Structure 1
Amino acid sequence: MNFHERSGRYRLLLLGCMACIASAPSAWAREKHPSGMTSRAPAIFMPQPMPDRPTVFRSAAGVPGHAYWQNRADYAIHATITPETRTLSGEETITYTNNSPDGLDEVWLNLDQNIYQPGARSQFASDRFSASRTDGVRIEKVVVEYQGIKKEISPVISDTRMQLRLPATLRAKGGRARIHVTWHYVVPGPWGGRTSVTPSRNGDIYEIAQWYPRMAVYDDIRGWDTAPYLGQEFYLEYGNIDYRVTVPWNYTVAGSGTLLNPDRVLSAVERRRLSQAARSDTRVMIRTAQDVTDPGSHRHDHGNATWHFRMDNTRDVAFAASPAFIWDAARMNLPSVRGVTKGPHLAMSVYPVEGVGADGWDRSTEYVKHAIEYFSAQWYPYPWQNAINLGGHGAGMEYPGIVFDGMEDRGPQLFWITTHELGHGWFPMIVGSNERRNAFMDEGFNTFIDVYASDHFNHGEFAPKKDNEFAPQTGNPADDIVPLLRDRDAPTLMTPSDLVQEKYRHPVTYFKGAYGLKLLREQIIGPERFDPAFRRYIQVWAFHHPTPSDFFRFLGSETGEDLSWFWRGWYFENQAPDYACTAIHPDTNGYRVTVRNKGGLPIPVVMQMTYMDGSTQRRTIPTEAWYQHDAIDVPVTTHGVLRTVTLDPDHAIPDIDRTNNTLRAP
């Protein structure tokens, strides 16, 4: 067949198809339903495109592809605190490995401390960090070492980013360079955030985080991910971090990872108590309130001391230092599996005397121990040796191996904040999503797992989990989230983190993000399929960088469900379920109940029949019921006399209008 013949036939075929389409009922056209309603193919069920396409790096099943790669950053850091000037100074060597298929002519580093500079972009984008002002980090010297040649580099600093133009292209697929950086900055005063120095009764507390120049991520999604730091936490490469912190002799340092030189910085009494804690399921005091005011309780009595820590396979480290610290610890019982740092594993709490109290920090280590053990057993083993809860200004902020909470926290609030921040050890410290862009994969996922931790702790002592940012506080998320679902101005979960207004940050990112997973687990998929899939998602993406597309594809593939309608309605849009029971008709074998779907999110819904004798009967209407209709007749076979029909009797789904959920039989 020549070209002209093929073209003619194709034109005839196309015209025929167009004629058929014109004469056939549209897939979107309404058709008459026997009950007088109409039917349609709703847009919610149309295929939902993902932001990122499958590639050889990320498969259609939502797992790393056969050519997946990830760069690596290892650090050796020596930092010094000078209390007289509240200065933190440091020298670091970054060993950066380029595993990408691209040669790199430049590299980028994050300078988060520049968020405090006058004129920083963050001050125009948000008022969250307006309380503190410093000159930011001062870069004294940068030297790049590659292929045996050292060369000093003049960095190009733009707000919270530093660009280094390399003297030679860093080779693809394994090229390695060493970057030496010397720097210092003044630690800002208390404000409740990343790095701060806070006064306490027995001395200043330094909470040091996002403190050293850190490599930006180069990945297969954007190349260099250089989003300026506006307050939405961080996105970093994994590696091993060896760091030393020099402080005055009477300071205690608590830091991410394992303390490598306890014999050089801890007294014999402290070392003996730590050994006892490693065998105890209840807390052992390492430093008591009496020790805090006793100079003889320290290993040294003058000068400085250097504390040496190491943490492997981590994206960051943080530490705290103060002469005011009380310190207690207990052992954690973790699974003995591959990838977990060898024990002893210790749950620790470090706090000033302001935190002491039976309903306060006296119970912190109990909470730490429970959180790490529960999350390890339920989802994925905690991979590091220690977990520390630090009582300071009250940042409510997480880092690998250590979290910063408030010395004044008490009761349920201390339990909830401790469990939540430690839960971040899994999201995003183990599963390294990009929290600067996709906050729901960090805050939402973590809030989801700590809701169940609250139910589990001490027979539900602090259950259900509540959060002051969520109103009203009924304890039932299906009811609490309705005002948000009715809010036309509320952003979607897929809105980039920096574009979410502060008033919506908790209700959307945390609450809606968590509740979406709860709906999937309890109403749509079921725990028997959801839990193994969620565990495998953590396992597959542990210490890697998944995107929302990866998660959506993975969960659908792993559970065997087409969840595109849920991704569209809950994540890409702000849809909500709204069901109505509109009619009850006597039938040959019982009744026909007409149920109408008035909402945009067709979550499976339970229909309960209550009979005159008080007995009940239940049926679940699946999502597929609404593929082609917005109203259906549900046959109810019974020999009893029907009294009422109620949709969603347990308030298990967020139906935004319950006034029409119950109908009395005629």
Structure 2
Amino acid sequence: MKIKLIAFVALLLCITITKAQRKPRNTDNDTIRSNYNPAALFSPPFYSEKGNEVHAPNGEPGSKYWQNRADYVLKAKIDTASKILTCSEKITYTNNSPDNLGYLWLQMDQNTYKKDARSNFVTGRQPGADQHTDGYQLESVSISVNGKIQKASYVVTDTRMQIRLPAALKAKGGKIDLLINYRYTIPGAFGGRTDYTQTKNGTIFEIAQWFPRMCVYDDLTGWDTLPFLGSGEFYCEYGDIDYSVTVPWDMILAGSGELVNPIEVLTAKQVSRLALARNSDKTIMIRSAQEVTDPASRPVNKGTLTWHFKMLNTRDVAFGASKAFMWDAARINLPGGKKSISMSVYPVESAGNDAWGRSTEYLKHAVEYFSEKWYPYPYPAAINEAGLAGGMEYPGILFDGITDKGKELFWVTAHEIGHNWFPMIVGSNERRFAWMDEGFNTFIDVYASDVINKGEYAPKRDGEYAPGGGNPADEIIPAITDPASPAINTYPDAIPEKYRHPLTYFKPAFGLILLREQVLGKDRFDYAFSNYISKWAYKHPQPDDFYRAMENGAGEDLAWFWRGWFLHNYKLDLALISAKYVDGDAKKGVEVVVANKEAWAMPFNIEAKLKDGTKYRMKLPIETWIQNKATTFVIPTTSAVESVTIDPDAALPDVNRGNNSLAVK
């Protein structure tokens, strides 16, 4: 059927017949029962603080923006029999802040597995007696200033370590080296994000959060020392990481960054195949199923091998290791003619074209799409590793489910590699603002499913994160209407598991979809969002930076949107109160009354279905609700109308669609 679409602007509605048709008029708000308060939704000011020289008022890093830096050199070894990782670590920490620092704080995430860890008490259900380790066992902690090494004074508190310096680290460029020798027992399946598991041809180790990392010192809280409790993930400084891992000779190790000694740890055939893969859009097998059990697929057949990697300007690294790994790879094509490489490692149990045999293809296409749409992928490789973690992300590497297949594998691969944009490139604070990580990433991977392989696995409307699996506007309603449901901006570890996915992933993602498709339009949204990514790449934005960046980049005051959707769970209920011909004459158009019955507001479409089968559509802006609880206007039709419907596409999270349509009598 033919659809006529007209952008309706309240002050410029000039294609009408009568004075009443030229402009929506205020309806007597006292006659319509409503919970809506325009003054509350649109009340200024939204920002509690003005922009400054560090966080500019336009949402960009200010002229005096600073952040500290942490560079790491790590030399690790895994004893695969005892499941113990040992490591010597050197951290070069640079204090770029304007403050002298008398002490330093480090993250000690492996301590989350100790019996007395704070994380054991968050959910009210403690881990089993066999689901613990002893955490980090520190053999020595030293500091080196100007080449002079001395024993450090330190205190470990749960998943944090404070190093108390004999003299303050100078502001604006002071440097210090931290030297730490440690070991820990690798957690088993209970590790969640880091673990080991047995397969037909050997144990798979997924190694993450494996070295003490610097806490962030920023202009918002100073030292951000929130403990690692689980839901609140990571907040890390950027720097270069040089790491080496020694493992038995028969293992394949896939890690973040670039392998700098391939000749030492790969066969000549594997080196040749990798070179071929770097120039191939089709997946090339580096180590086949048949070669997994063939000693000739390794350069030696005894002892150990040391794998050496480097990753520049990153906030973390992780790796997977197993003698059971098959391995394949393909080229990634990036903007400006640049290249990277997509790789997958997985056991023979995961092989097959309906399963991990397409992992590298999925990964390649996702990186190419995100790079073209939002920001170029910066790392030398993207790796998908099959294991128990079942969906966890680190810079340049993903841990995805060993049994995943088809659309499930595609969706989790696209989602986890998407995290390389949020929060690996845009370094937001996951431990405080999980929605700036999971929500933003869920938003971009929804569109990826629509595009990649011509929508082979589309649509992805995040039914995996919220119950329903249907219209996303309807899916989110239970989370909005539940009086116990927290707001998006809630501290992530304080969000009960029941609400974690709906509120951390789905609601912020759907909010951005509403902003893009219903409020700003795709062009203005994409410009502002891309600019936000570019300006905050490898930096630490806060929520206000995002809000300001979107408002400035799109040229729109969105305080009403942030207030209702992000800071509160305001409900939306647009109701069609009446629809009748002007003066009883179909040729004069249809006069309608629309009320806003709940606390939130949105611009909305209204559609008249004519009796000849055509449809006439208008769009009313957010200003419709800036003063009024209800509005009256005329749809300028000139022939008989069958019915009128608010939000005919069901795009808005309207909590009561039963009052959205009326027949015209």
Normalised-by-shorter TM-score class = over 0.9
Question: What's the TM-score once normalised by structure 2's chain length?
Answer: 0.93
What is the rounded CA distance, in whole Å, between the counterparts of 1:149 and 1:254 in structure 2?
A: 36
Contact 1:35 1:594 in 2 (8 A): no
Higher mean C-alpha deviation, range 62-71 or range 459-468: 459-468
- SS class of match (1:644): strand
What do residues 359-385 of structure 1 show as CA deviations (whole Å, max 9, x unaligned)? 100000010000100000000000011
Deviation at 1:177, TM superposition (A): 0.5
Matched, 1:636 2:631: no
Matched, 1:107 2:104: yes
Correspondence for 1:277: 277
Q: How does 1:596-615 map to 2 (within 5 A)?
A: 596-615=595-614
Task: Give the counterpart letter for 1:293 in structure 2.
Answer: T
Q: Which of 562, 566, 571 pairs up with 1:571?
A: 566
- SS class of match (1:519): helix
What is the rounded CA distance, in whole Å, between the counterparts of 2:324 and 2:108 in structure 1?
A: 29
What is the rounded CA distance, in whole Å, between the counterparts of 2:513 and 2:37 in structure 1?
A: 29
Task: Give the counterpart letter for 2:561 in structure 1.
Answer: F
Q: How does 1:252-267 map to 2 (within 5 A)?
A: 252-267=252-267
Task: Give the counterpart letter for 1:597 in structure 2.
Answer: N
Contact 1:70 1:219 in 2 (8 A): yes
Change (3 A) 1:460 1:32: closer
Contact 1:108 1:216 in 2 (8 A): yes
What is the rounded CA distance, in whole Å, between the counterparts of 1:262 and 1:201 in structure 2?
A: 26
Contact 2:29 2:630 in 1 (8 A): no
Correspondence for 1:380: 375
Deviation at 1:142, TM superposition (A): 0.9
Deviation at 1:599, TM superposition (A): 2.1
Deviation at 1:37, TM superposition (A): 4.4
Higher mean C-alpha deviation, range 593-602 or range 369-378: 593-602
Change (3 A) 1:525 1:417: same
What do residues 30-76 of structure 1 show as CA deviations (whole Å, max 9, x unaligned)? x9729944896331111253365422110111111111100000000
Contact 1:610 1:616 in 2 (8 A): yes
Higher mean C-alpha deviation, range 381-390 or range 32-41: 32-41
Correspondence for 1:119: 116
- SS class of match (1:577): coil
Deviation at 1:148, TM superposition (A): 3.6
What is the rounded CA distance, in whole Å, between the counterparts of 1:644 and 1:37 in structure 2?
A: 22
Contact 2:42 2:560 in 1 (8 A): yes
Contact 2:463 2:469 in 1 (8 A): no
What is the rounded CA distance, in whole Å, between the counterparts of 2:576 and 2:171 in structure 1?
A: 62
What is the rounded CA distance, in whole Å, between the counterparts of 2:388 and 2:27 in structure 1?
A: 64
Task: Give the counterpart letter for 1:55 in structure 2.
Answer: N
Correspondence for 2:315: 315
Change (3 A) 1:51 1:383: farther
What is the rounded CA distance, in whole Å, between the counterparts of 2:270 and 2:260 in structure 1?
A: 15
Change (3 A) 1:112 1:226: same
Structure with the larger RCO, 1 or 2 (CA within 8 Å, 6+ apart): 2
What do residues 263-294 of structure 1 show as CA deviations (whole Å, max 9, x unaligned)? 01000010011011111101101011111100
Q: How does 1:165-314 map to 2 (within 5 A)?
A: 165-191=164-190, 193-231=192-230, 232-314=232-314
- SS class of match (1:199): strand
- SS class of match (1:204): strand
Change (3 A) 1:622 1:517: same
Question: What's the TM-score once normalised by structure 1's chain length?
Answer: 0.92
What is the rounded CA distance, in whole Å, between the counterparts of 1:474 and 1:48 in structure 2?
A: 38
Deviation at 1:587, TM superposition (A): 1.7
Change (3 A) 1:145 1:580: same
Contact 1:151 1:167 in 2 (8 A): no
What is the rounded CA distance, in whole Å, between the counterparts of 1:183 and 1:146 in structure 2?
A: 21
What is the rounded CA distance, in whole Å, between the counterparts of 2:580 and 2:261 in structure 1?
A: 79
Correspondence for 1:513: 508
Deviation at 1:472, TM superposition (A): 3.9
What is the rounded CA distance, in whole Å, between the counterparts of 1:642 and 1:489 in structure 2?
A: 43
Correspondence for 1:653: 652
Task: Give the counterpart letter for 1:302 in structure 2.
Answer: K
Contact 1:360 1:410 in 2 (8 A): yes
Point out where structure 1 has 5 or more consecutive residues left out of the alignment: 1-30
Change (3 A) 1:285 1:127: farther
Change (3 A) 1:614 1:467: closer
What do residues 85-143 of structure 1 show as CA deviations (whole Å, max 9, x unaligned)? 10000001101000000000000000000000001000001368825200001111111
- SS class of match (1:150): strand
What do residues 607-628 of structure 1 show as CA deviations (whole Å, max 9, x unaligned)? 0001111111001111101111
Higher mean C-alpha deviation, range 608-617 or range 364-373: 608-617
Matched, 1:88 2:85: yes
Correspondence for 1:10: none
Contact 2:350 2:403 in 1 (8 A): yes
Task: Give the counterpart letter for 1:45 in structure 2.
Answer: F
Deviation at 1:598, TM superposition (A): 0.9
What is the rounded CA distance, in whole Å, between the counterparts of 2:147 and 2:297 in structure 1?
A: 48
Matched, 1:77 2:74: yes
What is the rounded CA distance, in whole Å, between the counterparts of 1:585 and 1:228 in structure 2?
A: 61
What do residues 381-407 of structure 1 show as CA deviations (whole Å, max 9, x unaligned)? 000110000001133100000000111
Deviation at 1:602, TM superposition (A): 1.1
What is the rounded CA distance, in whole Å, between the counterparts of 1:181 and 1:295 in structure 2?
A: 36
Higher mean C-alpha deviation, range 183-192 or range 377-386: 183-192
Higher mean C-alpha deviation, range 482-491 or range 558-567: 482-491
Change (3 A) 1:128 1:273: farther
Change (3 A) 1:32 1:326: closer
Correspondence for 1:23: none
What is the rounded CA distance, in whole Å, between the counterparts of 1:576 and 1:450 in structure 2?
A: 26
What is the rounded CA distance, in whole Å, between the counterparts of 2:213 and 2:240 in structure 1?
A: 13
Q: Which of 344, 352, 357 pairs up with 2:347?
A: 352
Deviation at 1:557, TM superposition (A): 1.1
Matched, 1:56 2:53: yes
Matched, 1:539 2:534: yes
Contact 1:48 1:568 in 2 (8 A): no
What is the rounded CA distance, in whole Å, between the counterparts of 2:357 and 2:27 in structure 1?
A: 67
Q: How does 1:386-397 map to 2 (within 5 A)?
A: 386-397=381-392
Deviation at 1:467, TM superposition (A): 4.5
What is the rounded CA distance, in whole Å, between the counterparts of 2:100 and 2:276 in structure 1?
A: 52
Task: Give the counterpart letter for 2:60 in structure 1.
Answer: V
Contact 2:29 2:628 in 1 (8 A): no
Task: Give the counterpart letter for 2:77 in structure 1.
Answer: T
Correspondence for 1:431: 426
Contact 1:192 1:395 in 2 (8 A): no
Deviation at 1:484, TM superposition (A): 1.4
Higher mean C-alpha deviation, range 196-205 or range 185-194: 185-194
- SS class of match (2:457): coil
- SS class of match (1:388): strand
Correspondence for 1:527: 522
Correspondence for 2:20: none
- SS class of match (1:237): coil
What is the rounded CA distance, in whole Å, between the counterparts of 2:412 and 2:442 in structure 1?
A: 10
- SS class of match (2:499): helix
What is the rounded CA distance, in whole Å, between the counterparts of 2:208 and 2:121 in structure 1?
A: 23
Contact 1:466 1:473 in 2 (8 A): no
Correspondence for 2:95: 98
What is the rounded CA distance, in whole Å, between the counterparts of 2:615 and 2:469 in structure 1?
A: 26
Deviation at 1:479, TM superposition (A): 1.3
Identity of counterpart residues, as a percentage?
52
What do residues 221-274 of structure 1 show as CA deviations (whole Å, max 9, x unaligned)? 000000000012110000000000000111110000000000010000100110
**RMSD between superposed Cα atoms in Å:** 1.6
Higher mean C-alpha deviation, range 37-46 or range 163-172: 37-46
